Amino acid sequence: MSAGPDIVLVLARADNGVIGKDGGLPWRLPADLRHFKALTLGHPMVMGRKTFDSLPGLLPGRRHIVLTRDAQWRGEGAEIAHDAASAIRIAAASPVMVIGGAEIYRLFLPLATRIELTEVHIDAQGDAAIAYPDPTAWQETARADHPAQGDAPAHSFVTFHRRTAP
């Protein structure tokens, strides 16, 4: 077990690796939005500035810690960090939910203890992608598969735990 807080990556990824397009999601999946809310409610969320800007507003019941290189940047309701260590220190909680984007996921992956992944079973067009969790480092511990319904694609909610402490 990690000596620090649990760091949880929360993301949705198409089968071809795409996680975003033009600052948003390239699919409409209400079940994933409900799942995201259930996972993050009551916990601090760490995100990049572009992810913060893409939100419809502040998400109730969650702290918004924004990681940015821009020392002058300010966002209403945002707590600002300039590196991963300061974001974790500002969060001062466990777990810390990391919600994107791709660069932020890559930065926190070596620190993460858990991944909550929504596999969206489509090949999506997009401009942000991330690799599937390395099976030598991560073990799948839970999976719930859901068929396509109406316009919503088939998807799976998958939990991974790190095989060894970061």
- In the chain, the domains with their CATH numbers are 17-162 (3.40.430.10)
Please report the pLDDT score of residue 4 as a whole number.
Answer: 85
pLDDT at 59 > cutoff 80 = yes
Q: How confident is the model at residue 164 (pLDDT cuts 50, 70, 90)?
A: confident
Q: How confident is the model at residue 14 (pLDDT cuts 50, 70, 90)?
A: very high
Task: Indicate the SS3 state at residue 150.
Answer: coil
pLDDT at 85 > cutoff 70 = yes
pLDDT at 1 > cutoff 60 = no
| Residue 120 near residue 15, CB atoms below 8 Å | yes
User: How would DSSP label each residue in 41-95?
Assistant: TTS-EEEEHHHHHHSSSPPTTS-EEEE-S-TT---TTEEEESSHHHHHHHH-SSS
pLDDT at 88 > cutoff 60 = yes
pLDDT digits (tens, 9 = 90+) for 132-156: 999 999 999 999 999 999 999 999 9
